[in-house]
Amino acid sequence: MTAFGATELLADCGLIVAAGGSSSRFGHGNKLLMDLAGLPVFCHCLRAFLPLLPAGHAVLVVPAVSEPLFAAALAAAGWGERVRLVPGGASRQASVQAGLAALPAAATIVAVQDAARPLATAELLARCVASARACGSGVAAHRVVDTIKAATAEGAVTATPDRRALWAAETPQVFRRDWLAAAYELVARDGLEVTDDAQAVQLAGHPVQLVESQQDNLKITRAADLPLANFILAQRRAEANDVT
């Protein structure tokens, strides 16, 4: 039985956990090594996702200088043999490319997960994988509830007349491996910068299917995000206790 009660092992799926950033907006050291409800931030998505994956199908991409710290945290969690450590690059896209090269050939579906999104659930991953198997892509996202403005020299303009069409992308972002590999080869060849994997796949001409995220799938970016993530986890634990 897997983490969320399903019986299916995602045997064709490989996981790249992007943890190679510098936490500059966080401002208090490496945000991914900060404690969140008793685990380092980066360990939460691994705890949710590893039970769904075959051994050897998970890579963690980290800054080379911090590799010993991440290795120690993986060993403390008992995952030292389950997760392959890979040195990251100067950008998220470079880190993801490094992770992609380290996945076994059996991983024909690839999930990319921000280590900075500790609240992603196994259920969301499974839905994104199902979408990628069906149509090549499955990207976690939530509907935008604010009116989005674009700043211009003439003043702010509303990004689109129909706000209902706007979504905020999250992770996991899951794709056919051949699509993702070709997309990142294209952006590297053409010197393009992308801020998420879906943008690379879109630039390569493939359709990006959004998968609505049912829960707060917060990205730890600024220091204030950490207590908020703690609150959300506490709420989830309380709800789980209420149903048992």
Ligand X SMILES: C[C@](O)(CO)[C@H](O)COP(=O)(O)O
Ligand Y SMILES: Nc1ccn([C@@H]2O[C@H](COP(=O)(O)OP(=O)(O)OP(=O)(O)O)[C@@H](O)[C@H]2O)c(=O)n1
Tell me which of ligand X, ligand Y, none is bound by residue 169, counting a contact when its beta carbon lies within the kind-specific cut-off of 5 to 8 angstroms: ligand X
Distance in Å, CB of 169 to ligand X, minimum = 4
173 touches ligand Y (CB under 6 A):
no
The answer to whether 23 contacts ligand X (rule: CB under 6 A) is: no
Residue closer to ligand Y, measured from CB, 64 or 234: 64
Tell me how crowded residue 51 is: count the other CB atoms within 10 A of its CB: 15
* Interaction mask 197-226, ligand X, x per CB under 6 A: ----------------------x-------
| Residue of closest CB approach to ligand Y | 21
Nearest-approach distance from CB 185 to ligand Y, in angstroms: 18
> What span, in angstroms and rounded, lies between the C-alpha atoms of 235 and 178?
39
Facing residues of 138 across strands? 174
Which residue's structure tokens are 């959004």?
210
Q: Which of 34, 130, 169, 232 binds ligand X (CB under 6 A)?
A: 169
Considering only 95, 121, 171, 217, the residue that binds ligand X (CB under 6 A) is: 171
List the single partner that 100 binds among ligand X, ligand Y, none, CB under 5 to 8 Å by kind. Answer: none
Q: What does 95 interact with, of ligand Y, ligand X, none (CB < 5 to 8 A by kind)?
A: ligand Y
- Separation CA 213–CA 170 (nearest Å): 8
Alpha-carbon radius of gyration of the chain:
18
Return all residues near 63 (Cβ < 8 A) that are at least 6 apart.
20, 21, 22, 87, 88
Does the footprint of ligand X cover residue 31 (CB under 6 A)?
A: no
Each residue 2-31 as x (binds ligand Y by CB under 6 A) or -, in order, gives ----------------xxxxxxxxx-----
Q: Which is nearer to ligand X, 170 or 225 (CB)?
A: 170
In one-letter notation, the amino acid at residue 134 is: A
**DSSP string over 201-240:** HHHTT----EEE--S------STTHHHHHHHHHHHHHHHH
Interaction pattern, residues 188-227, with ligand Y; x per rule: CB under 6 A: -------------------------------x-x------
Q: For helices 122-135 and 41-49, what crossing angle results, to 10°? A: 60
Q: In what order do the strands lie in the sheet with 58-62?
A: 83-87, 58-62, 13-18, 109-114, 167-176, 137-143, 210-212
Tell whether the torsion through CA atoms of 170, 16, 135 and 6 is positive or negative. Answer: negative
Q: Tell me which residues touch ligand X (CB under 6 A).
A: 92, 114, 169-171, 195-196, 219
**Interface contacts to ligand Y, rule CB under 6 A:** 18-26, 32, 61, 88-92, 95, 114-116, 219, 221
